[in-house]
Structure 1
Amino acid sequence: MTLAEKRTALIQELAPFEDPHERFQYIIDRAKGAEGLPPELRIEQLLIEGCTSNLWLYPTVRDGICRFRCDADSLITKGIATLVCELYDGATPSEVAATDAEFLAEVGITQHLSPNRRTGLANLVSKIRAFGRHTHDASASQ
């Protein structure tokens, strides 16, 4: 599935929830079912700065495909981060670098976040896209 297709699928998944409380409850329920990171990956070097709660991002690349795993000590943070990681997971570095996560605003998520959570979310997306750029640049120079 391409990034554009994933984006469309995530929008369709979240669109039925017009009430912000229902939407966030759905995100929390998704977080409860999402796989977290093992304790050895919940380290300071993988923390995303600027977030109200602890949020860890573990990016990897293998055979030209980016993989993103995340975890947080808050269910709402973990749920939103999981949506973002699902969007970018499985994409090429150049796709990751070129794609924003504006679908979250389109489905009414970012508007209902506190300023600190919005900052944390922006930092997460920035870190993911920077990983894509760095990985793409590194493979292009080889």
Structure 2
Amino acid sequence: MLARLGGFRHPQERLQWLVEQARQRPALAAELKTEANRVPGCLANLWLVAESCEGRCHFQCDSDSQIVRAVAGLLCDFYSGAPPAEILALPPDFLEEVGINQHLTANRRNVLSRVWERIRACAQAAATL
């Protein structure tokens, strides 16, 4: 996925591809769209479900904004299925490298930061089990 993102010459192509990928994501079940799963600080509604099972962390997200769903989904896909130590050792600096961060509004970068905080918190909790 990261190789594909890095292969686009124009930022708009990169974001358009991410949005197309987001449209193919399964929607989060209605019962998971709770206030506890809602990510604060986003103008759009964004829900993130984080869980650990058998030494690995798993993440799902959904939003009523396609671009928010796309970039949050990128983080969820990247880290989902990884062991906690691997997640904690690899912050999302790759977003800068593949040209995502610099083309997002300040609010959307803030949302990504909050998504990363939730992912990291899940990994930290799972690492102590």
Identify the residue that residue 93 of structure 1 maps to in structure 2.
84
1:14 matched to which residue of 2?
5
- The one-letter amino acid of 1:135's match is A
User: Aligned-residue CA RMSD in angstroms?
Assistant: 1.0
Distance between the aligned counterparts of 1:97 and 1:129, measured in 2? 6
Query: CA-to-partner distance for each residue in 1:33-88, whole Å, 9 max, x for gaps?
Result: 01121110011100111222111111111111111111111111111111101111
Residue-pair matches, total:
129
Higher share in helix: 1
**Unaligned 5+ runs, structure 1:** 1-9
Q: Does structure 1 conserve the Cα–Cα contact (< 8 Å) formed by 2:50 and 2:118?
A: no
Deviation at 1:98, TM superposition (A): 2.3
CA distance in 1, matches of 2:111, 2:63: 11
Give, in whole Å, the separation in 1 of the partners of 2:16 and 2:92: 20
- Mapped to 1, the partners of 2:107 and 2:85 lie a distance apart of 29
Mapped pair 1:35 → 2:14: no
Equivalence map 1:73-84=2 (5 Å) = 73-84=64-75
Check whether the contact 2:52–2:122 (CA below 8 A) recurs between aligned residues.
Answer: no
TM-score, normalised via structure 1 length:
0.86
